[in-house]
Amino acid sequence: MVYYILSICLLRGNMINLLGKDENFIASVCAALSLPGYRARQIYGWSSKGVSVEDMTNLPLAVRSALTGAGYGVMLPEIAEKYVSRVDGTVKYLMRLGDGEMIESVVMSYRYGKTICVSCQAGCRMGCRFCASTLNGLKRNLTCDEILGQVYAASRDVGERISGIVMMGIGEPLDNYDSSVAFIRAAGNPDGLNIGMRHISLSTCGIVPGILGLADEDLPVTLSVSLHSIDTEKRKKIMPVTNAWSVEEILSACRCYFEKTGRRISFEYTLIAGENDSEEDARQLATGLKKHLGRIPLHVNLIPLNPVSERDLRKSGRENVDRFKRNLVGSGVNATVRRRLGPDINASCGQLRYSRALSERNNE
C-alpha cells in the first residue's frame, strides 16, 4: 500500500502539467506522440479549461492513455481545507501542491463578481516583521501552472467564474518574476480564464528591478506597493527589503511604472500601533508621496494590522486609523480603510499555512 501511494506521489511529482500551456506546446506533444494534428486543438480546448486528461471525453481512450503514459496531465492543486466566512461569504483555502507543499488562496465576493487572492511562493524570504508568510522562510517558488491552478480549483469549488485576481497571497510575486509574469499572461488568455489586465493586481514589497521589468512587459496590471512607512530608516525596521532599495528608489520605480502603463499606483499601508500610525507618520507620507509622485494618480489602502501571535506587534486602534485616514485625505491624498474580509476565518496572509506547519511539527 505504501509503495502504491509512493508511486502515485512520484508520478504526480514528475508529471508535466498541460495547464496553461499554449496550443503550440500541445501540438509539439502530439507530434512527439505521433497523434494526428487535430488532436492538439481538442486537447488544448480541454486543458485551457483546466479539465483533467481522464475527463477529456471526446478523446478515445488510446489517446488519453498515450498522454498519461508519456507523463502528461492537467493537474490542479488539491483543496486540503476550506473555511467559509459566515459574515461575508469569503472562502479561504489551504491547497496542497503535487509535492505536498501547502499554500493559501482566498475567494472574495463583491457586487461585481468574485476575486481571488493567489499565492506565488510556498513561504517567503522577505522577512516583513508583521507577516506570517515569512515565519518559516521560503520553501520554493510556485510554477506558473501552480498559480493558475489555484484559480481553476477555487472557481470549480465555488461553482462560479472568477473575474478578478490579486497576487497578494503567500510570497513575493516579483521574487518569482518569470512565473508571475507567465501567470498574468496565461490568466489573460481568451481561450482560458480570459481575465482582463485591469482586473489583475500585483502586490510587491518593493523589488525595484521587478517593478521596472514589469513596466516593460506591456501587461497593464495594477501595481500595489506595500509601503508601510515612507521613511527609509523606519521602513528598514519593518521591512528588511528596504536595505536593498530605499523608499526613494521604490517611488521612482513607481513613477516609471505609471509613465509606461498609465495605471494608477496603489499603496498598501498596514497600521501598526506605535510603529507607523502617528499624525507625523501620516503627514510625512502625504508630503513624501506628493514630492516623489507629484500629480500621478495614486491610492492608499490602509490596513489595520492583523496581529500574528509570534510577533510583538499590536494593531492600531480605530481612532488612530480614522485619524490617519483624515490626515491623508485632508492633505489631498486618496485613501480608504480596507474592509476586513472574512474576519471569522483568519483570512490574512500565511496564517493558515503557518499554523498547519506548527501542528504537524507538534504531532511528530
Catalytic residue numbers read 104, 349
71-79, 147-155, 279-287, 299-307 -> range binding ligand SAH (CB under 6 A): 299-307
Q: Which is nearer to ligand SAH, 89 or 127 (CB)?
A: 127
Taking CB under 6 A as the criterion, which residues in 196-215 touch ligand SAH? 203-205
Question: Site map for ligand SAH, 210-249, x if CB under 6 A?
Answer: ----------------x-----------------------
Candidates 303, 321, 341, 345: give the one binding ligand SAH (CB under 6 A): 303
Q: Which is nearer to ligand SAH, 268 or 277 (CB)?
A: 268
What Cα–Cα distance (Å) separates residue 329 from each residue in 104, 224, 275, 278, 338? 34, 19, 21, 15, 15
Task: Kindly state whether residue 348 participates in binding ligand SAH, applying the rule CB under 6 A.
Answer: yes
Q: Residues 43, 56: contact at Cβ < 8 Å?
A: yes
94-102, 146-154, 183-191, 302-310 -> range binding ligand SAH (CB under 6 A): 302-310
**Beta-strand pair 222-226/113-117:** unpaired
Q: Which of 212, 132, 206, 211 is nearest to 169 (CA)?
A: 132
What Cα–Cα distance (Å) separates residue 301 from each residue in 113, 147, 325? 20, 25, 9
Q: Which of 300, 132, 118, 142 is nearest to 224 (CA)?
A: 300
Q: Which is nearer to ligand SAH, 29 or 128 (CB)?
A: 128
Q: Residues 317, 60: contact at Cβ < 8 Å?
A: no
DSSP element (H, E) containing 162: strand 162-167
Candidates 104, 268, 275, 277: give the one binding ligand SAH (CB under 6 A): 268
Q: Cell triple for residue 256? A: 516609471
Task: Kindly state whether residue 130 participates in binding ligand SAH, applying the rule CB under 6 A.
Answer: yes
Task: Kindly state whether residue 270 participates in binding ligand SAH, applying the rule CB under 6 A.
Answer: yes
CB of 53 vs ligand SAH, minimal distance in Å: 33
Size of the site for ligand SAH (CB under 6 A): 17
